[in-house]
């Protein structure tokens, strides 16, 4: 079976930088415990690989032992969490994606001007939790234009931003929706990563040319789930898997061409394993 592989499939710049920082810490380790605060990226296979190299995972600052090295994951952390880590006496290595860090600083600047943050994203996602901490207490998180219905005050000063991996077209629709319902000027922070937009556009273009689409990546990865969503919206069957072992040959009966893309935290090795299996069908 012919497989069309997306050029953008696999690690994005932020994920690559985070893992390079973790690798550098491992290479220079002098016996002190090394841990990540939460999963450094949303990819179970990569996390398991680092666990085998001795990297521990903690779920909160209270679990960090004084003298250990703590890696702040690519999604970033809330301001208060970073402060607690410093109080624990640990060596902090900040592997926050530069795009996320920029979004944090832009939101903080607008919060200092007294504006209420409208944040398009997944409320429980770690990146969103971090972004919210830079907005003080004035913030409203939502995951669709419909979720804003009846929640806007016409005379309030808002600022609009988004989780870096959200859909840019939906964000444009949200911008128009908010502008039509507020009387004050609306600053719009362009916090969606361009790599996310390009990846989604390529997935859409490929989905329109194939019999079936396969998206590879962690089930907890928001950007991977959105890739599967935009591909499926093109009217083609779409399968989201974490590994090649999850593919079922029965799902591809009658298919001659399959499209393949992967989330921003998917390892090249996993992508190649999926491609090899599909080509062998």
**Beta strands 238-241; 69-72: pairing state:** unpaired
| Half-sphere exposure (Cβ direction) of 176: Cα atoms closer than 13 Å | 5
User: What integer pLDDT is reported at residue 273 of this predicted model?
Assistant: 97
Among residues 51, 87, 122, 127, which one is catalytic? 127
Fold of 2-10+194-280: Cobalt-precorrin-4 Transmethylase; domain 1 (3.40.1010)
CATH 3.40.800.10 correct for 99-179: no
**Domain ranges in the chain?**
2-10+194-280, 14-96, 99-179
Residue range 22-60, pLDDT digits in tens: 999 999 877 789 999 999 999 999 999 999 999 999 999
Q: What is the pLDDT of residues 109-152, one digit of tens each?
A: 999 999 999 999 999 999 999 999 999 778 999 998 899 999 99
Could you tell me if 279 and 1 are in contact, meaning their C-beta atoms sit under 8 angstroms apart? yes
Q: Token digits for 195? A: 């790599």
The answer to whether 176 is a known catalytic residue is no
User: From residue 183, how far is each of 153, 169, 170, 180, 261 by CA, in Å?
Assistant: 9, 23, 22, 8, 42
pLDDT of residue 183: 96
Q: Please return the burial class of 232, using the count of CB atoms within 10 Å of its CB with bins 0-12, 13-18 and 19+.
A: middle
Matching CATH topology for 2-10+194-280 and 14-96? no
Under 8 Å between Cβ of 75 and 129 = no
pLDDT single digits (tens) 183-205:
999 999 999 998 888 999 999 99
Closest listed residue to residue 69, CA positions, set 25, 27, 6: 25
Q: What is the mean pLDDT of residues 198-219?
A: 97
Half-sphere exposure of 105 (CA within 13 A, CB side): 7
CATH topology of domain 14-96: Rossmann fold (3.40.50)
Give the model confidence (pLDDT) of 69-119 as tens digits: 999 999 999 999 999 999 999 999 999 999 999 999 999 999 999 999 999
List the one residue out of 14, 37, 34 whose CA is nearest residue 24: 34
Q: Give the per-residue SS3 of the chain.
A: CEEEECCCCCCCHHHHHHHHHHHHHHHCCCCCCEEEECCCCCCHHHHHHHHHCCCEEECCHHHCCCCCEEEECCCCCCHHHHHHHHHCCCEEEECCCHHHHHHHHHHHHHHCCCCEEEEECCCCCHHHHHHHHCCCCCEEEECCHHHHCCCCCCCCCEEEEECCCCCHHHHHHHHHHHHCCCCCCCCECCCCCHHHHHHHHHHHHHHCCCCEEEEECCCCCHHHHHHHHHHHCCCCCEEEECCHHHCCHHHHCCCCEEEEEECCCCCHHHHHHHHHHHHHC
**Do the Cβ atoms of 39 and 15 come closer than 8 Å?**
no
CB atoms within 10 A of CB 260: 22
């Amino acid at each position: 079976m012919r497989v069309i592989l997306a050029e953008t499939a696999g690690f994005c710049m932020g994920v690559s930088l985070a893992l390079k920082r973790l690798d550098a810490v491992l290479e220079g380790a002098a016996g002190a415990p090394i841990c990540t605060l939460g999963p450094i990226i949303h990819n179970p296979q990569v996390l398991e690989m680092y666990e085998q190299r001795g990297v521990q995972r903690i779920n909160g600052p209270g679990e960090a032992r004084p003298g250990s090295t703590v890696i702040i994951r690519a999604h970033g952390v809330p301001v208060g969490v970073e402060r607690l880590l410093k109080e624990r006496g640990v060596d902090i290595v900040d592997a926050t994606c530069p795009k996320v860090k920029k979004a944090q600083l832009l939101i903080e600047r607008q919060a200092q001007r007294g504006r209420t943050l409208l944040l398009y994203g997944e409320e429980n996602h770690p990146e969103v939790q971090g972004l919210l901490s830079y907005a003080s207490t004035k913030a409203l998180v939502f995951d669709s234009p419909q979720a804003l219905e009846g929640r806007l005050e016409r005379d309030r000063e808002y600022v609009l931003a988004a989780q870096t991996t959200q859909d840019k077209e939906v964000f444009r629709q949200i911008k128009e929706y908010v502008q039509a319902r507020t009387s004050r000027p609306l600053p719009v922070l362009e916090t969606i990563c361009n790599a996310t937009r390009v990846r989604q556009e390529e997935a859409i273009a490929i989905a329109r040319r194939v019999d079936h689409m396969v998206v590879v990546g962690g089930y907890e990865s928001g950007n991977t789930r959105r890739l599967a969503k935009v591909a499926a919206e093109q009217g083609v069957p779409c399968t989201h898997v974490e590994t090649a072992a999850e593919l079922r040959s029965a799902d591809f009966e009658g298919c001659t061409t399959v499209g393949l893309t992967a989330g921003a935290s998917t390892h090249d090795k996993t992508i190649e394993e999926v491609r090899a299996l599909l080509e062998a069908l």
